[in-house]
Amino acid sequence: MKIRIPLFAAIFLFVLSALAAAAAVNWQNALSTASGNYLFNPNSVHTVGTDDVIQAQLKLELSADGIQKLMEHYADTQDTTSWTAASYVTSISRFNLKDRITTVKDIYIYNADDQLLAEIPEEQTMDMTAGSTQEKLASFLVQWLYEN
């Protein structure tokens, strides 16, 4: 009986650590801008409905400029006072290549200790203009899908 309890505990901890490792996101570099470094979750990249719509989970590791732009963008709708400590933002981005529209949703802002500073539930839609960060991200993801 005494051997079974430690054995059960060891098996339980092994399974728990395997699940935690499987749940970890393997972020990969996508694009570097003045606002910071964009990364993507390769397990999240897929087309939606047609080949003209690509969706991915993105992470933006914020630069000082990126933090400032983020605070300015949401100043009218959010309390951004704690955002000076922001380190990164995660979101789900959908790129409609045909209509040249980007939709961003499930926006979460974190500090360097992975503590959630803000959650922005509203979807945001923007035009994908020539040379924009959205266009560059979409092009990168199309290429990545093609190669993988």
User: What distances in angstroms separate CA 91 from CA 57, 107, 121, 124, 143, one per listed residue?
Assistant: 6, 4, 10, 11, 20
Given this model, what pLDDT does residue 21 score? 40
Look over the chain and give the mean of its residue pLDDT values, rounded to a whole number. Answer: 87
| Residue 9 reports pLDDT greater than 50 | no
Mean pLDDT within 62-79? 95
The model's confidence at residue 2, banded by pLDDT at 50, 70 and 90, is low
Query: What pLDDT, in 10s, does the model give residues 36-67?
Result: 999 999 999 999 998 899 999 999 999 999 99
Distance CA 29, CA 52 (A): 23
Given this model, what pLDDT does residue 6 score? 46
Query: What pLDDT, in 10s, does the model give residues 93-102?
Result: 999 999 999 9
Query: For the CA atoms of the chain, what is the radius of gyration?
Result: 19
Q: Nearest CA to 45 among 35, 34, 30, 31? A: 30
The model's confidence at residue 122, banded by pLDDT at 50, 70 and 90, is confident
Percent of the residues in the chain that have a pLDDT greater than 90, as a whole number: 79
Mean pLDDT within 118-142? 94
Distance CA 91, CA 111 (A): 15
